[in-house]
């Protein structure tokens, strides 16, 4: 049997590694396609800029990222870029009335979410959370307070109800900070409206 040259083995290994890395890079830019799905690793970081609407952001058990909306209307544009453990999602063109957007991510994902107005609900996500809503209602399931090393939450005007941390405040420029033994960080802010941490 003829021996395989070491250089050939190294070249094959390098080719497979490159193919694997390339397979993790995804770029989707779609108008009108619904839903949109892509594989995404657990424990990754997801940055989102979402149009004003009703949004459900849900943690899921499998390694996938899924964007769907109702009703299916023209003009909604979804841009999703995944590179390794980082994902960037931007949704634009949402109609103003009765539009519901659902974003599903691996439940251990870290979140960075910005949205101008509407209702934003976050359920079942256990990683770091950095979420800001300029106007409307932000409701977030946070789990046990001891899972966090640092929490800061605030409203510029409105109501801050953080039952998980025994805090309830209303009025102008209301906020609270919390430190604990956990490993996660939580930042939540609403400009005008209601912030509810459960």
What count of other Cβ atoms lies within 10 Å of the Cβ of residue 195?
Answer: 25
pLDDT in tens, 45-69: 999 999 999 999 999 999 999 999 9
β-pair partners for 160: 169, 195
pLDDT in tens, 69-87: 999 888 999 999 999 999 9
Domain layout of the chain by residue ranges: 25-197
Candidates 97, 128, 127, 130; CA nearest to 115 is 130
- The model's pTM: 0.85
Query: Is the confidence at residue 167, as pLDDT, over 50?
Result: yes
**Distance between alpha carbon 142 and the CA centroid of its chain, in Å?**
14
Pick left, alpha or beta for residue 179 (phi over 0 → left; psi -120 to 50 → alpha; otherwise beta): beta
d(CA 115, CA 138): 10
Contact 130, 167 (CB under 8 A): no
């Amino acid at each position: 049997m003829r021996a395989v040259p070491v250089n050939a083995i190294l070249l094959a290994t390098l080719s497979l590694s490159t193919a694997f890395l390339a397979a993790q890079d995804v770029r989707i830019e779609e108008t009108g396609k619904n839903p949109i799905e892509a594989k995404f690793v657990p424990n990754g970081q997801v940055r989102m800029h979402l149009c004003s609407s009703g949004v459900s952001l849900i943690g899921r058990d499998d390694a996938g990222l899924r964007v769907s909306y109702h009703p299916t209307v023209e003009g909604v544009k979804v841009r999703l870029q995944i590179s390794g453990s980082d994902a960037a999602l931007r949704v634009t063109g949402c109609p103003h009335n009765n539009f519901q957007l659902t974003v599903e991510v691996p439940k251990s994902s870290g979140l960075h979410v910005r949205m101008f107005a509407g209702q934003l609900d976050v359920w079942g996500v256990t990683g770091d959370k950095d979420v800001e809503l300029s106007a409307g209602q932000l409701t977030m399931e946070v789990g046990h307070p001891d899972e966090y090393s640092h929490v800061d939450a605030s409203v510029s005007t409105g109501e801050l109800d953080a039952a998980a941390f025994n805090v309830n405040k209303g009025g102008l420029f209301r906020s609270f900070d919390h430190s604990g033994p956990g490993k996660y960080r939580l930042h939540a802010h609403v400009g005008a409206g209601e912030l509810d941490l459960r």
